[in-house]
Chain A
């Protein structure tokens, strides 16, 4: 299957490794991967500040860039969920509304695409670490993203998934909230981090770079040994080198 990447602006600028890892996982699953450089952002920052016409202007660029793709895959639950809002965002513009809906219908979050769409869970990775999954708010509530990433992690050799009681609690990011109300935002992260540290895990992972920046930035400041990594990066990091993999037939 031909897949067009929507890498998201955060990944593009801050953690390109997540984009590369996403492409690698998709290729392992048998997809051919493309990237259209006309894409910028899904419009979420403006949308979340209540600036709907600005959000529409940015959303149009994404629609134009990616509407020709067979399927669009993004390593962000939150940006994927944003495309699901285009229907309502363009309520007053029937043409754009239809185009937005069409894009949303073929846009998938990475884990959901691999597991639910391609029915691939085993990618042949080995990561001998204790890992906890953070259920980001938008992926969880708007996409129902819960089982798919866990199915992927379950097939990573050596990986021990440690479920946190507070896995579904908000990390405190929330865009402008994180800087406007920084003290509250940090207190929210600390509540989760306190638990994660008590679990003795090595890595907290998830499907949204924004949450992982929030948790990771705070973990680092606290001097914690826990790392915050996007699951694509975590899994791709445990893949045998491509050459070695060629000898080992994929299962």
Chain B
């Protein structure tokens, strides 16, 4: 069971989202703003395309030799005093983390924003043990107050207006219904300060991990990640295996790409690099499961990320640096927002990752939820061929549908057969013309015609008219 997975309900969720004009307005406004800033930041960097290519190459190289770099990373990280645990899937990961939290005495937990902890349903798992992990990124904290998952990778509450947030605070915290943005931020700051002071455990994600030094990097603007990783006695960093780069110097390109691509900033306000625990803060002793020091990565079985590594096209999905740019330019995301995608990753990268990480049967609608216009690929700082992966997954979704008559795959096979010779092509079209009056009431034509006029076949095709013209 994957926590919070509702991608099967994409049709219903997206229709509901289309009816929410306030949400569509909020997303449109926010993404336009970010796109504008990003455009300006990119325009000031003549070597942008070169940086993209370098970033893609670094990621592709690392993924092609992932085991090598993973083992190197673990060896160096352990030498620096980090304790590394391997998890083979979400359940495994949450069990390891809840185990570590139990050892530490289950004391107050603060969390930095992290997509991978959303992915494994960590908060849910901790809450099931009666714990109360507190999100400390402002947007993420708002989402936690609302009892909702984030709806955007970088801006978790992007779909909410300020008025809605003020109302949420009023309901949950008793503040004024019409509080200003400054007042709302001040309230959050006051509450979160106390949470930081009390916390004994800090949980974060990882933006990049460096194999040659065993270090990892976290980027942020609010300063909450610094506090989460330094105030509590224990810091747990959760990382997907795809976060690696080989060398420290590789970070240069990503430090320039990610902030510009994500928010249009030249640099985030804070960059924290961790190489082993801070002096005087000894690592927690290793206990129990999770593989031995320097041990082999967990078996590929059940491990969805590892399964992707074997295929070159699919593997490219793991190049993602979670900048959110593909969401901001996606015309589908703009209409339906993040929650309609039915899991933690929305937009084009969600349509690519969810079917692969959760299984195609759980998300058959997602690969087809794209007009394949390519704005996402154009915007992606690591040049993932998102439409290409979507096409590939679309076929898998069609096959998973069983290729039933009228299904995608069945249709394509037949269509190709008819298109293969001009004679068959002409038959097919004659048939289509005869069937048109009936056909427009059926299946795909009906869905087209519900809100749009259906183009009628011409009385005489071009080829017929051309014959006469040349006579």
List A residues at the B interface (Cβ < 8 Å). Answer: 7, 9, 11-17, 19-20, 23, 35, 37-41, 43, 45-51, 54-55, 57-58, 61, 137-138, 141-142, 169-170, 172-189, 191, 213-214, 216-218, 220-221
Contacts and interface: CB of A to CB of B under 8 A. Distances in A.
B462 A19 contact: yes
Interface in B435-471: 444-445, 447-448, 450-458, 460-463, 465-466, 469-470
A223 to B, nearest CB: 11
B409 interface: yes
A51 B422 contact: no
24 contacts: A13-B457, A19-B465, A23-B466, A37-B466, A48-B394, A49-B391, A49-B412, A50-B367, A51-B413, A54-B413, A61-B421, A137-B375, A141-B377, A169-B331, A173-B371, A178-B448, A181-B14, A182-B450, A183-B18, A188-B331, A191-B335, A217-B452, A217-B453, A218-B453
Given A57-B416, A177-B369, A188-B332, A182 B451 contact: yes
B368 interface: yes
A175 B412 CA distance: 12
Contacts of A185: 371
B188 to A, nearest CB: 33
A8 B395 CA distance: 24
Counting contact residues on chain B (CB < 8 A from A), the size range is 35 or more
A183 B10 CA distance: 12
Nearest to A47: B391
Contact of A176 (B14, B368, B377, B469): B368
Nearest to A212: B455
B457 A14 contact: yes
A180 B450 CA distance: 12
A50 B465 contact: no
B157 interface: no
Contact of B465 (A16, A49, A176, A213): A16
B412 A54 contact: yes
A37 B419 contact: no
Contact of A216 (B332, B415, B453): B453
Given A138-B373, A181-B332, 18 more contacts: A12-B461, A13-B458, A14-B455, A15-B458, A16-B460, A20-B469, A40-B425, A49-B398, A51-B409, A51-B413, A57-B419, A58-B419, A61-B419, A137-B373, A180-B365, A181-B365, A188-B332, A189-B452
Nearest to A56: B416
Given A137-B375, A213-B455, A13 B332 contact: no
B118 interface: no
Contacts of A57: 416, 419-420
Nearest to A60: B420
B448 A182 contact: yes
A179 B444 contact: yes
Interface of B: 11, 14-15, 18, 331-332, 335-336, 365, 367-375, 377-378, 391-396, 398, 408-409, 412-413, 415-416, 419-422, 425, 429, 432, 444-445, 447-448, 450-458, 460-463, 465-466, 469-470
B426 to A, nearest CB: 9
A110 to B, nearest CB: 14
B412 A46 contact: yes
Scoring A16, A35, A55, A169 by chain B CB atoms within 10 A of each residue's CB, the highest score goes to: A16
Contact of A55 (B373, B378, B416, B452): B416
A183 B456 CA distance: 21
A41 B425 CA distance: 9
Nearest to A65: B422
Contacts of A138: 373-374
Nearest to B377: A141
B453 A49 contact: no
A55 B415 CA distance: 10
Nearest to A85: B388
A184 B419 contact: no
A1 to B, nearest CB: 18
A188 B335 contact: yes
Contacts of A187: 18, 335
Given A19-B466, A45-B412, A55-B416, A188 B457 contact: no
A61 B419 CA distance: 8
Contact of B393 (A35, A50, A183): A50
A16 B42 CA distance: 43
A72 B455 CA distance: 27
Q: Which 10 A-B pairs have the closest CB atoms?
A: A174-B371, A50-B395, A137-B373, A217-B452, A54-B416, A16-B462, A19-B462, A170-B373, A179-B444, A220-B453
A184 B332 contact: yes
B328 to A, nearest CB: 13
Contacts of B457: 13-14
A176 B370 contact: no
Contacts of B409: 49, 51
B373 A12 contact: no
A37 B463 CA distance: 7
Nearest to A173: B371
Given A16-B462, A49-B408, A137 B371 contact: yes
Contact of B15 (A35, A141, A183, A189): A183
A13 B452 contact: no
Scoring A54, A142, A213, A218 by chain B CB atoms within 10 A of each residue's CB, the highest score goes to: A54
A141 B378 CA distance: 8
A13 B429 contact: yes
Contacts of A184: 14, 18, 332, 335-336, 369
Scoring A38, A179, A181 by chain B CB atoms within 10 A of each residue's CB, the highest score goes to: A181
B444 A217 contact: no
A57 B372 CA distance: 22
A46 B462 contact: no
A15 B18 CA distance: 32
Scoring B374, B396, B412 by chain A CB atoms within 10 A of each residue's CB, the highest score goes to: B412
A72 B15 CA distance: 43
Nearest to B391: A50
B415 A45 contact: yes
B465 A20 contact: yes
B451 A186 contact: yes
B412 A51 contact: yes
A172 B458 contact: no
Contacts of A39: 422
A172 B377 CA distance: 17
Contacts of B395: 49-51
A176 B365 CA distance: 12
A193 B467 CA distance: 38
B462 A20 contact: yes
